[in-house]
């Protein structure tokens, strides 16, 4: 889920930024500090939106930088259990697929890709035994977040597509067309009965 969060922190502005206006220096430092930043409580930082307030700076003996107490806004994405996410398959493996969620990556186990027995092929695809549905690198999908782990240095996101309305976008579209045809057929049958 995307959020705008407001934070207050002491921002360490490096000496190389001293020649520019303080507000600009603090903003540049924040952008560097929060590039590729993830925190369990805040989420994945996408962008520094604005600097709201910069108080007077302080110097600490032995450190050439200046510290400014600063209020600022960030745009973040915090993954949540049961959240629906659009994704692109970035890699197929023998145990599942890695999914690019735009902001972060997730992983879908082979057993969670579809309601079918799924096998990994030498052509780097996942194929359903009875449905003959195929997943390959670059496919656009809709998945649900079912697990979030913060163990280790990176967050791990587990996904599923084994629920109605989830899966490869082409499958979802085909299913919708199929249901619409069934509804039209039933409506036509009902009109004939009258």
* Residues 32-55: tens digit of each pLDDT: 999 989 999 999 999 999 999 999
Q: For position 152, what pLDDT does the model report?
A: 77
Q: Which domains does the chain have, with CATH numbers?
A: 2-77 (3.30.1490.120), 84-172 (2.40.50.140)
* Residues 118-145: tens digit of each pLDDT: 999 888 999 999 999 999 999 999 999 9
Q: Taking residues 82-107, what's their average pLDDT?
A: 96
- Find the DSSP H helices in the chain: 22-33, 169-193
H or E segment and range at residue 15: none
Cβ-count burial 112-121 (b if 16+ within 10 Å, e if not) = bbbeeebebe
Closest by alpha carbon to 134, among 174, 101, 80? Answer: 174
Look at residue 194 and tell me whether its pLDDT is greater than 80: no
Strands 38-39 and 43-59: antiparallel
Cβ-count burial 43-62 (b if 16+ within 10 Å, e if not) = bbbbebeebeebeebeeeee
Closest by alpha carbon to 115, among 100, 125, 128? Answer: 128
In sign, the C-alpha dihedral spanning 89, 90, 96, 102 is negative
* Residues 145-192: tens digit of each pLDDT: 999 999 877 899 999 999 999 999 999 999 999 999 999 988 888 887
**Across the chain, how many H-helices and E-strands are there?**
2, 13
Q: Which residue has the tokens 């806004």?
A: 73
Q: Which residue has the tokens 């996408």?
A: 46
Cβ-contact 159, 146 below 8 angstroms: yes
How far is residue 61's CA from residue 89's CA, in Å, rounded to a whole number?
Answer: 51
How far is residue 108's CA from residue 112's CA, in Å, rounded to a whole number?
Answer: 6
């Amino acid at each position: 889920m995307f959020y705008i969060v407001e934070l207050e922190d002491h921002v360490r502005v490096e000496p190389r930024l001293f020649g520019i206006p303080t507000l600009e220096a603090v903003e540049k430092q924040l952008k560097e500090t929060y590039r590729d930043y993830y925190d369990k409580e805040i989420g994945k930082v996408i962008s520094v939106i604005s600097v709201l307030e910069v108080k007077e700076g302080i110097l600490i003996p032995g450190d050439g930088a200046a510290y400014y107490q600063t209020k600022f806004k960030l745009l973040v994405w915090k993954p949540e259990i049961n959240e629906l996410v659009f994704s692109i398959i970035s890699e197929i493996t023998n145990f599942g697929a890695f999914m690019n969620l735009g902001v972060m990556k997730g992983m879908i186990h082979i057993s969670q890709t579809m309601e079918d027995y799924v096998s990994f092929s030498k052509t780097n695809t996942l194929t359903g035994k009875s449905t003959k549905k195929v997943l390959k690198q670059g496919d656009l999908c809709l998945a649900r977040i079912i697990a979030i782990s913060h163990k280790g240095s990176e967050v791990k996101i587990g996904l599923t597509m084994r629920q109605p309305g989830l899966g490869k976008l082409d499958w979802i579209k085909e299913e919708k067309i199929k249901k619409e045809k069934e509804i039209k057929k039933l409506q036509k049958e009902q009109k004939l009965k009258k």
